[in-house]
Chain A
Amino acid sequence: MTFDNHLAITPQLVADHGLKPDEYDKIIQLIGRTPTYTELGIFSAMWNEHCSYKSSKKWLKTLPTTGPRVIQGPGENAGVVDIGDGQALVFKMESHNHPSFIEPYQGAATGVGGILRDVFTMGARPVAAMNALRFGDPSHEKTRHLVSGVVAGVGGYGNSFGVPTVGGEVEFDERYSGNILVNAFAAGLADTDKIFYSKAEGVGQPVVYLGAKTGRDGVGGATMASAEFGDDIEEKRPTVQVGDPFTEKRLLEACLELMQTGAVIAIQDMGAAGLTCSAVEMGAKGDLGIELDLDMVPVREDAMTPYEMMLSESQERMLMVLHPEKEAAARAVFEKWELDFATVGKTTNDLRFRVLWKGETVADLPIKDLGDEAPEYDRPWVAPKVPAPLASDDIPQMDVADALLRLLDSANSSSRRWVYEQYDTLIQGNGLQLPGGDAGVIRVEGHPTKALAFSSDVTPRYCEADAYEGGKQAVAECWRNLTATGAEPIALTDNLNFGNPERPEIMGQFVHAIKGIGEACRALEFPIVSGNVSLYNETNGRGILPTPTIGGVGLIPDASKMARIGFAAPDEAIVLFGAPDWWGTHLGQSIYLRDIFDRRDGTPPKVDLAHEKKVGDLVRILIRDGVATAVHDLSSGGLALGLAEMAMASGIGATVNQLDGGDPIPQFFGEDQGRYLVTMSRDNLERFYEEVYPYAGVFAPWIGVTGGTSLKLGEARPVEITELKTAYESWFPNYMKGEVA
Chain B
Amino acid sequence: MKAAVVLFPGLNRDRDMIAALTKITGETPALVWHKDGDIPNVDLIVIPGGFSYGDYLRAGAIAARSPLMQVIRERAAAGVRVLGVCNGFQILTEAQLLPGVLMRNASLRFVCREVKLEVVNAATDFTRGYTQGQIIRCPVAHHDGNYFADAETLATIEGNGQVAFRYAQGTNPNGAINDIAGILNTKKNVLGLMPHPENLIEAAHGGSDGRALFEALTTLAA
Inter-chain contact B141/A429, CB cutoff 8 Å: no
Residues of A contacting B9 in the complex (Cβ-Cβ under 8 angstroms): 246, 249-250, 337-338
Q: Does any Cβ of B come within 8 Å of A425's Cβ? A: yes
Write out, one digit per residue, whether chain B residues 45-59 have a CB within 8 A of any chain A CB (1) or not (0): 000001101111000
Inter-chain contact B204/A249, CB cutoff 8 Å: no
Residues of A contacting B109 in the complex (Cβ-Cβ under 8 angstroms): 152, 422
How far, in Å, is B7 (CB) from chain A's closest CB? Answer: 10
- 658-700 of chain A: CB within 8 A of chain B: none
Residues of B contacting A156 in the complex (Cβ-Cβ under 8 angstroms): 110
- Across the interface, B12 reaches (CB within 8 A) one of A420, A427, A432, namely A427
Alpha-carbon distance A390/B176, docked complex (angstroms): 55
- Across the interface, A427 reaches (CB within 8 A) one of B16, B20, B143, B204, namely B16
- Across the interface, A426 reaches (CB within 8 A) one of B15, B51, B53, B141, namely B141
Alpha-carbon distance A161/B12, docked complex (angstroms): 7
Q: Does any Cβ of A come within 8 Å of B196's Cβ? A: yes
How far, in Å, is B117 (CB) from chain A's closest CB? Answer: 15
Alpha-carbon distance A374/B164, docked complex (angstroms): 64
Alpha-carbon distance A152/B109, docked complex (angstroms): 7
Q: Does any Cβ of B come within 8 Å of A159's Cβ? A: yes
Alpha-carbon distance A162/B13, docked complex (angstroms): 7
Inter-chain contact B112/A426, CB cutoff 8 Å: yes
Q: Does any Cβ of A come within 8 Å of B154's Cβ? A: no
Residues of A contacting B139 in the complex (Cβ-Cβ under 8 angstroms): 426
Q: Interface size on B (CB < 8 Å)?
A: 28
Inter-chain contact A159/B141, CB cutoff 8 Å: yes
Q: Does any Cβ of A come within 8 Å of B199's Cβ? A: yes
Inter-chain contact B110/A162, CB cutoff 8 Å: no
Alpha-carbon distance A160/B35, docked complex (angstroms): 21
Residues of B contacting A247 in the complex (Cβ-Cβ under 8 angstroms): 54
Q: Does any Cβ of A come within 8 Å of B179's Cβ? A: no
- 420-441 of chain A: CB within 8 A of chain B: 420-430, 432
Alpha-carbon distance A681/B141, docked complex (angstroms): 37
Q: Does any Cβ of B come within 8 Å of A352's Cβ? A: no
Alpha-carbon distance A427/B205, docked complex (angstroms): 11
How far, in Å, is A231 (CB) from chain B's closest CB? Answer: 32
Alpha-carbon distance A430/B20, docked complex (angstroms): 12
Q: Which residue of A lies closest to B54 (CB)?
A: A246
A162 in contact with B112 given A246-B10, A428-B15, A429-B19 (CB within 8 Å): no
- Across the interface, B204 reaches (CB within 8 A) one of A159, A336, A432, namely A432
Residues of B contacting A443 in the complex (Cβ-Cβ under 8 angstroms): 204
Residues of B contacting A160 in the complex (Cβ-Cβ under 8 angstroms): 10, 12, 50-51, 54-55
Inter-chain contact B51/A427, CB cutoff 8 Å: no
Inter-chain contact A429/B112, CB cutoff 8 Å: no
Q: Does any Cβ of A come within 8 Å of B111's Cβ? A: yes
Q: Does any Cβ of A come within 8 Å of B113's Cβ? A: yes
Alpha-carbon distance A140/B18, docked complex (angstroms): 47
Q: Interface size on A (CB < 8 Å)?
A: 30
Q: Does any Cβ of A come within 8 Å of B198's Cβ? A: yes
Inter-chain contact A421/B111, CB cutoff 8 Å: yes
Write out, one digit per residue, whether chain B residues 139-177 have a CB within 8 A of any chain A CB (1) or not (0): 101010000000000000000000000000000000000
Alpha-carbon distance A319/B98, docked complex (angstroms): 43
Q: Does any Cβ of B come within 8 Å of A155's Cβ? A: yes
Q: Which residue of A lies closest to B51 (CB)?
A: A160
Inter-chain contact B10/A426, CB cutoff 8 Å: no
Inter-chain contact B112/A245, CB cutoff 8 Å: no
Alpha-carbon distance A408/B204, docked complex (angstroms): 30
Q: Does any Cβ of B come within 8 Å of A281's Cβ? A: no
Residues of B contacting A427 in the complex (Cβ-Cβ under 8 angstroms): 12-13, 16, 141, 199
- Across the interface, B112 reaches (CB within 8 A) one of A244, A250, A421, A428, namely A421
Q: Which residue of A lies closest to B50 (CB)?
A: A162
- 67-104 of chain B: CB within 8 A of chain A: none
- Across the interface, A159 reaches (CB within 8 A) one of B15, B110, B196, namely B110
Residues of B contacting A432 in the complex (Cβ-Cβ under 8 angstroms): 204
How far, in Å, is B182 (CB) from chain A's closest CB? Answer: 18
A246 in contact with B111 given A338-B9, A426-B196, A429-B19 (CB within 8 Å): no
Alpha-carbon distance A250/B56, docked complex (angstroms): 14
Write out, one digit per residue, whether chain B residues 18-38 have a CB within 8 A of any chain A CB (1) or not (0): 011000000000000001000
- Across the interface, A245 reaches (CB within 8 A) one of B13, B51, B113, namely B51
Alpha-carbon distance A559/B35, docked complex (angstroms): 40
Residues of A contacting B110 in the complex (Cβ-Cβ under 8 angstroms): 152, 155-156, 159, 422-424
How far, in Å, is A433 (CB) from chain B's closest CB? Answer: 10
How far, in Å, is A32 (CB) from chain B's closest CB? Answer: 49
Alpha-carbon distance A466/B143, docked complex (angstroms): 43
A245 in contact with B16 given A159-B110, A429-B205 (CB within 8 Å): no
Inter-chain contact B199/A426, CB cutoff 8 Å: yes
A244 in contact with B12 given A421-B112, A429-B19 (CB within 8 Å): no
A428 in contact with B16 given A160-B54, A250-B9 (CB within 8 Å): yes
How far, in Å, is B137 (CB) from chain A's closest CB? Answer: 12
- 238-272 of chain A: CB within 8 A of chain B: 244-247, 249-250
Alpha-carbon distance A409/B15, docked complex (angstroms): 39
Residues of A contacting B13 in the complex (Cβ-Cβ under 8 angstroms): 162, 427
Inter-chain contact A245/B111, CB cutoff 8 Å: no
Inter-chain contact A246/B112, CB cutoff 8 Å: no
How far, in Å, is B10 (CB) from chain A's closest CB? Answer: 5
Alpha-carbon distance A156/B51, docked complex (angstroms): 10
- Across the interface, A250 reaches (CB within 8 A) one of B10, B20, B199, B205, namely B10
- 338-384 of chain A: CB within 8 A of chain B: 338
Q: Which residue of A lies closest to B112 (CB)?
A: A424
How far, in Å, is A116 (CB) from chain B's closest CB? Answer: 12
Residues of B contacting A244 in the complex (Cβ-Cβ under 8 angstroms): 54
How far, in Å, is B209 (CB) from chain A's closest CB? Answer: 14
Inter-chain contact B51/A429, CB cutoff 8 Å: no
Q: Which residue of A lies closest to B23 (CB)?
A: A429
A421 in contact with B113 given A162-B50, A429-B16 (CB within 8 Å): yes
Q: Which of A245, A250, A427 has the most CB of B within 10 A?
A: A427
Write out, one digit per residue, whether chain B residues 105-123 have a CB within 8 A of any chain A CB (1) or not (0): 0000111110000000000
- 174-214 of chain B: CB within 8 A of chain A: 196, 198-199, 204-205
What are 22 sample pairs from A and B whose C-beta atoms fall under 8 A apart? A152-B109, A156-B110, A159-B110, A160-B50, A160-B55, A161-B12, A162-B13, A246-B51, A246-B54, A249-B51, A250-B10, A420-B112, A423-B112, A426-B112, A426-B139, A427-B13, A427-B16, A427-B199, A429-B15, A429-B199, A429-B205, A430-B204
- Extra A-B contacts (16), CB below 8 Å, given A160-B51, A246-B10, A426-B196: A159-B141, A160-B10, A160-B12, A160-B50, A244-B54, A245-B54, A246-B53, A249-B51, A336-B35, A424-B110, A427-B13, A427-B141, A427-B199, A428-B15, A429-B19, A429-B198
Q: Which residues of B contact A (CB under 8 A)?
A: 9-10, 12-13, 15-16, 19-20, 35, 50-51, 53-56, 109-113, 139, 141, 143, 196, 198-199, 204-205
